[in-house]
Structures are given as C-alpha cells and as structure tokens.
Amino acid sequence: MPMTAAHTARLLITCADRPGIVQAVSSFLYHHGANIISLDQYATEEQGGTYFMRVEFALDRLQEVRDVLTRSFGDTVAAQYQMSWQLTLVGDIKKVGILVSKYDHALLELLWRWSRGLLPCEITQVVSNHEDLRDAVERFGVPYHVVKVTKENKVEAEAEIHELMAGNDVLVLARYMQILSSEFVEKWSYRVINIHHSFLPAFVGADPYRQAYEKGVKLIGATAHYVTADLDQGPIIEQAVERVSHRYTVEDLRELGEDVERNVLTRAVRWHLEDRVIVHDNKTIVFD
C-alpha cells in the first residue's frame, strides 16, 4: 500500500550519547511494525557527548496506534536512555499564526507559498499592530486582527495577542517590530520564529540596514531564529548573505536584503514544520 502522510511519523531525540541508541530505536520501530524512511543523527563528540536523532517512519494504522506507540516509547527506550523526545505525525498539520507590522515582504512570501501548497501548514490568522496590511492578507482568505501596542498597554496587548493565537503550534514574526516580553515568550517557548534583517550577531536591534550602511559592510544578510526574551539572541535556525559594495545606498541594502529575508524565513519555517530542528544550548541542530 503506498504510504501517505497519514501513515508517516517523525521522532526527534536528544540524549547523552552512548552505544546502542540506534539499535534501540530501530528495534523498537521494527517490533511495532514500522518501516524507517529516513534516519539522521549527530553527536557532539566521538563519544560521551550529546546525541541527536531525527527518524521518519511509516506505519500502517498509525492513527489507531499513535497513543500506544507514544506511551510505549516513553516507557521503554526513552526512559532507558533518558531522552528528550517528541513524536509527531506528518498528517497533523501544524497551525501557524503570523505577527507583522508594516513591512509586507516576509508575510506575503509565507502567504503566497502557503497558498501554492509549498508550506505544509494552516495559516490561521495574521495579527498586526497596524491596519496597513489587512486587504493584502484578507485576499488570501486569512483573518486579520489589529492589536495596537504602546508602552502603556503592552501587557494588555500581549494578553490579547496570546488569546488570539491560542491553538497555534508556532508563531512567525514576519517583521513584527515590537519586542515581546519575557512573560509572553515564556508561554511560547521555542515556538516563535523571527526574521531578523541582518547576519546575526551583527547589527542586533532596530534598523540593521542603516547600521550596516554606516559600517560600510561588504555583505548583508538575514537570520531566522527562535525568539527568546533577549532581543535577537535566540537559537539561529537559518542565515544567508549577499555581497554589496560602497555603491549601495541604505535603500539598495534594504531592497536586496528583503529578498534574502524572504528566502531565509521560508526555509526556517518549513524546517520547523517538517520537524527538522532541535534546540540545544541556545543553538540548533537542523536535519535539512
């Protein structure tokens, strides 16, 4: 029987490295009737470091056995190797909420790719602190909400955003220009992806293109990272750069940079949706 997404699952594992992990995981899957489609692994040291694995497998009747499989893995292999792990089903389409301010390029890239079936998710709503992008978003049939944010109402505004976004698996800051409080970030631990318009760690904070111009850089870039309480310091998921020269104005940098931002954010979101990213020690392992 041809395997479909409904029969496919992914297992992400992090644990202390020691011999026998691959055998334990593969035997477990074999004895539960699963067929391994792909298996990728990484260890930080030759031995005694930290071990990471991403395994994708197919299994008949996956929907019926998912709970038993999850409980059994947790009680056996995961307990034996003291694993941090997650088992997700490809058929469980992730829900994505997007936050945006006024720049539309990153947002429209995500909406266009999603509308073309190139992003395996459901974009459930867009929340902005400005009215500007309502028409552009609603043309894709996606609900648009405006939540004004000021220094005075930040707590209430974030509470409203959290309420609106409840039920989403991941939030994407597609050039959302408000710094999220540590309280908000804590509720969404490593489930908020931001696109920063510089090659981090260079030029954190506001207006990195102007910072880059003032510095006379020969490369500009973009960085997609998970959001933490510390501005632009979260685990990096994807980056890219483009060459520039002294002939570029700030606007030239911005125009070229926006293309880089769009591609970097798309890859980062897709890898997250495909369960390819593990966060460890404020860094990521990306099984791309």
Binding mask 196-225 for ligand LMY7XDAE (x = CB under 6 A): x--------xx-------------------
Considering beta carbons, is residue 229 or 256 the nearer one to ligand LMY7XDAE? 229
Residue 205's closest CA among 240, 237, 178?
A: 178
Residue 173 near ligand LMY7XDAE by CB under 6 A: yes
In angstroms, give the least distance from the CB of 226 to ligand LMY7XDAE: 9
Q: Which of 132, 207, 232, 252 is catalytic?
A: 232
Residue 165 near ligand LMY7XDAE by CB under 6 A: no
Cβ atoms of residues 178 and 104 within 8 Å: no
Q: Among the candidate windows 79-87, 88-96, 177-185, 210-218, which touches ligand LMY7XDAE by CB under 6 A?
A: 177-185
Cβ atoms of residues 144 and 100 within 8 Å: no
In angstroms, give the least distance from the CB of 207 to ligand LMY7XDAE: 8
Give dist(CA 211, CA 207) in Å, integer: 7
232 flagged as catalytic = yes
Q: Among the candidate windows 11-19, 53-61, 228-236, 265-273, which touches ligand LMY7XDAE by CB under 6 A?
A: 228-236
Considering beta carbons, is residue 5 or 177 the nearer one to ligand LMY7XDAE? 177
Residues classed as catalytic: 232
